[in-house]
Structure 1
Amino acid sequence: MDVSEYSLIAVKIGTNAIMREGVLDKEFLDALVSEVALLSRAKKKVVLISSGAVGMGKKKIKFSSPNGTTIKEQQGLAAIGQIELMNEYLGRFERKGVVGAQVLVSQHDFLNKQCLLNIKSTFDFLFERGIVPIVNENDVVATEELRVNGVFSDNDALAALLAKQIGAGLLVFITAKGGLIGRDGKIIDTLTKMEQVCVLNEKSKDGRGGIDSKLSAIKTALGAGCDVFVSGPKGFNGFAKGKAEGTFALAISNI
């Protein structure tokens, strides 16, 4: 796909894309930052919406909970892991000569007009200076967002709402699947109808998302006039040069 026509691109990285068996996928992160740096040098505005704080927190303190984690545990793990996650990003961006900035938001920020204006103003300031915002949900103050049926599921809804608010032309989802899977078991090249997608109601292994949250977020983005591209850790390679692999959907499609 040709990315030259997009001036503002939002990239959402899922937990299972950035974490592999509970460990940060540093090879993928290296490649991701390299692609974003290329886009930044081409004067593109890029924002990352990255999951992974809770997973990083688990790894940091060797936390294990066979029966799942409570909201209190997730909040604490996010507090530990967020700084670890940011350090991984910022160190790589610095080596590429790019400045990154942390932005933490919650669902409540999207329900308040003044907060929305503040978000837009902050992003304008960063974009004007070629800085890459790295966004995550503020899990420490989140409550319902951390539940299975919360408004933000593994940042999918957050990514769509943010893309809409800042006027992104393209929203990219990087998932472990590498794209949307059709009923024939193969990755769909161009999505024209949601009925094409094979829905198994599966949840993200380490995150809170899944195909349902992904499709809902895609509908939100497309409805806001934002094109969507769903790729994977390997498929995203070459994105800045238009050589990425995955599923593409045009906002003008009657999906």
Structure 2
Amino acid sequence: MATLSDARRVVVKIGSALLVDSESGALRGDWLVSLAEDVARLRRAGRDVVLVSSGSIALGRGVLGLGAADLPLEQSQAAAAVGQIRLARAYEEALAPHGIVTAQVLVTLEDSADRRRYLNSRATLETLLGLGVTPIVNENDTVATDEIRYGDNDRLAAQIAVTVGADRLVLLSDVDGFYSANPAQDPAARRYDVIERITPEIEAQAGDAGSGLSKGGMKTKLMAARLATEAGCAMAITLGSPLHPLAALEAGAAATWFTAQTTPQAARKRWIAAMKPKGEVSVDAGAAAALAQGKSLLPAGVTGATGTFDRGDPVLVLGPDGARLACGLTRYTAAETRALRGRRSSEIEAVLGYKGRSVLIHRDDMVA
């Protein structure tokens, strides 16, 4: 069974009901402080942590006196705008005493559906984590309308886990796991400790969304579990309301763990390999040797480019003899690639007029 003890990169989803008191609309400061202590402990153990947090609308509606009733879109977005700055400040103040720098990352569904924006988001999050920053991710409720919304942070958290290549996803919930039936209605309901695979029987046991500030439900959690586990990330559902919920999970608190079906690296490679190439990039012998050693492709090693492709599109990489070496997601358009061929990374800004990326195809975006 998966645990937090052997995790490398952890994504934690925090719902509004955990952060914001449903009656007063105030932040649960003591709970957030305890979560920050958990995050600091994970960080000291060498684990990357990303927090996917709701709460901006719940905090904003309290400040604006909008009450607990459902809000029209415009008022929800106004509440999000007011609440988001308070939410970010609360996390910053809770984590700063532990020497942890935080960053706010706001996303919409389009950011994962569009390949170029997805790669940009991935690069930003990877850079933040590489710099030792703990990102605080939320849906950009101030601009997102229904057609570009995730609609729940369970699936958003799973998508973020896929984006950053996390091997653990923790959904802090109002229940301590996945049950065979609603435990509030069926005293015979049993909690699963481990779910190896999501079967039709498991899906049939999921309930509907809850009420109050929480918008999730077991159906959205199962959707998140399927997305995460197929991408190589084990997922846990555990009770989030007690203080120090992550420490409790690591100590063996009640939870349901969904088993990863592969590894994050293998899942990403499989995804790239399944794409239809939009063009071809030819490289010299030096670049071919570097690729064989698992290195990224730099513009200096490129000798030519054919086809019409945009940033984020899949392209074939061909050796000096025309043999296929790899398929990868390019960080430059076809025209930019042709302009940069044979150029050192230090020359990119002079050629394109902006800094750009130092590599044409990163090794993490390439499969042989």
TM-score when normalising by structure 1: 0.89
The aligned residue for residue 205 of structure 1 is 212
Letter in 2 for 1:142: A
C-alpha spacing 1:130/1:36, structure 2 compared with 1 (3 Å): same
Secondary structure at the aligned position of 1:171 is classed as strand
Where does residue 194 of structure 2 map in the other structure? 190
TM-score (norm 2): 0.63
- How many Å apart are 1:196 and its aligned residue? 4.4
In structure 1, distance between residues paired with 2:60 and 2:219: 26
Determine if the alignment matches structure 1 residue 62 to structure 2 residue 65.
Answer: yes
Between the aligned partners of 1:214 and 1:179, the Cα distance in structure 2 is 10
Tell me the alpha carbon deviations over residues 27-59 of structure 1, each in whole angstroms, 9 at most, x when there is no partner. Answer: 221221111111111221110000111000011
Q: Secondary structure at the match of 1:20?
A: coil
The match for 1:173 among 128, 152, 171 is 171
Moved more, 158-167 or 12-21: 12-21
Contact map agreement 1:156 1:217 (CA 8 A) in 2: yes
Q: Which residue of 2 aligns with 1:79?
A: 81
Distance 1:19 1:154, change over 3 A: farther
Deviations 1:215-241 (A, max 9, x none): 111111111111001112228242585
- Does the 8 A contact of 2:168 with 2:233 survive in 1? yes
Q: How many residues align?
A: 248
Q: In the alignment, which residue of structure 2 is the partner of 1:127?
A: 129
Matched, 1:2 2:20: no
Supply the distance in 2 between the matched residues of 1:65 and 1:191 (Cα, whole angstroms). Answer: 36
What residue number does 2:222 align with? Answer: 215
Summarize the Cα distance change of 1:188–1:24 in structure 2 as closer, same or farther, 3 Å threshold: farther
Deviation sequence 1:53-88 (CA, Å, 0-9, x none): 10000111221253x211111111000001111111
Aligned residues with identical type, % of pairs: 32
Does the 8 A contact of 1:237 with 1:243 survive in 2? no
Question: Is residue 249–residue 255 contact of structure 2 (8 Å, CA) maintained in 1?
Answer: no
Q: Displacement, 1:2?
A: 3.2
- Listed as ranges, the gaps of 5+ residues in structure 2 are 182-187, 263-368
Q: Partners in 2 of 1:202 and 1:137 — Cα distance?
A: 19
Equivalent residues of 1:169, 1:226 under 8 A apart: yes
- Letter matched to residue 134 of structure 1: I
Q: Alpha carbons of 1:79 and 1:213: their partners in 2 closer, same or farther (altered >3 Å)?
A: same
Write the letter of the residue equivalent to 1:124: E
Summarize the Cα distance change of 1:182–1:172 in structure 2 as closer, same or farther, 3 Å threshold.
Answer: same
CA 1:212 to 1:34, structure 2 compared with 1: closer, same or farther past 3 Å?
A: same
Letter in 2 for 1:224: A
Aligned to 1:159: 157
User: Using the alignment, how far apart are the partners of 1:202 and 1:241 within structure 2?
Assistant: 27
- The question of 1:44 aligning with 2:47 is answered yes
Kindly report the root-mean-square deviation, in angstroms, between the aligned alpha carbons of the 2 structures. Answer: 2.2
Contact 2:169 2:235 in 1 (8 A): yes
Q: Contact 2:238–2:249 at 8 Å: present in 1 too?
A: no
Pick aligned residue for 2:144 from 142, 145, 150: 142
C-alpha change, 1:64 and 1:196, in structure 2 (3 Å) is: same
Which residues of structure 1 form unaligned runs of 5+? none
**Partner Cα distance (1:53, 1:187) in 2:** 31
Query: 2: distance between equivalents of 1:187 and 1:26?
Result: 30
Further displaced range: 205-214 or 118-127: 205-214
Contact 1:36 1:240 in 2 (8 A): no
Distance (whole Å) between structure 1 residues aligned to residue 224 and residue 158 of structure 2: 5
Instruction: Describe the shift of the 1:205–1:211 C-alpha distance in structure 2 as closer, same or farther (beyond 3 A).
Output: farther
- In the alignment, is the contact (CA less than 8 A) between 2:51 and 2:134 conserved in 1? yes
SS in 2 for 1:238: helix
1:118-168 Cα deviation digits (max 9, x unpaired): 1111112111121100000001110016xxxx7513212111111111111
**CA shift for structure 1 position 99:** 0.9
Deviation at 1:106, TM superposition (A): 0.6
Deviation at residue 15 of structure 1 after TM alignment: 1.7
Counterparts of 2:104 and 2:217, CA distance in 1: 25
CA gap 1:91/1:65 in 2 versus in 1, 3 angstroms: closer
Secondary structure of 2:195's aligned partner: coil
Distance 1:237 1:164, change over 3 A: closer
Point out the structure with max Rg over C-alpha. Answer: 2
Give the drift of 1:110.
Answer: 0.8
Look up the match of 1:17: 18
Aligned-partner Cα distance in 2 for 1:70–1:78:
12
